[in-house]
Amino acid sequence: MRGVGLSRQKTAYLRDLSEKTKAGLLEFERMSDTSDDEVIAHLTQVKGVGVWTAQMFLMFTLRRPDILPTGDYGIQAAIKKYYKKRKWPKPAVMLKIAKPWVPYRSIASWYLWKSLDTKTMEK
């Protein structure tokens, strides 16, 4: 694993993931039929998998349309920028701002990320 560039810590995370999967503690086949909160709880039992990682799994692997990753730096930065916040927005503020985006917060998040990548002409 070190030979392909993985740190000792990431190797330990992958081992924990594979051990839990082999032991039947992670059932990826059932995740498409469970709630977002259940998927997050299920995945975060693995060392190295936090809420943000679980949310990315929900958005990009399970293609859930209504995920708002409030712990994501890019989403925070975009909301701070476009909603003219002086401080980094807290999750409760982000959820309030994103309420009109329900049930498509995943799509809105993608556009927020993309908006930060786009070069614009500013005066």
From residue 37, how far is each of 43, 54, 73, 115 by CA, in Å?
A: 10, 10, 21, 28
Closest CA to 45 of 64, 61, 31: 31
Tokens 């995370």 locate to 13
Question: Is 72 among the residues known to form the active site?
Answer: yes
pTM, full prediction? 0.88
Report the alpha-carbon distance of residue 51 to residue 15 in Å, rounded. Answer: 19
**Per-residue pLDDT of the chain in tens (123 residues, 90 and over written 9):** 888 889 999 999 999 999 999 999 999 999 999 999 999 999 999 999 999 999 999 999 999 999 999 999 999 999 999 999 999 999 999 999 999 999 999 999 999 999 998 766 554
Q: Which of 16, 66, 72, 117 is catalytic?
A: 72
Structural domains in the chain, sorted by start:
2-61 (1.10.340.30), 73-117 (no CATH)
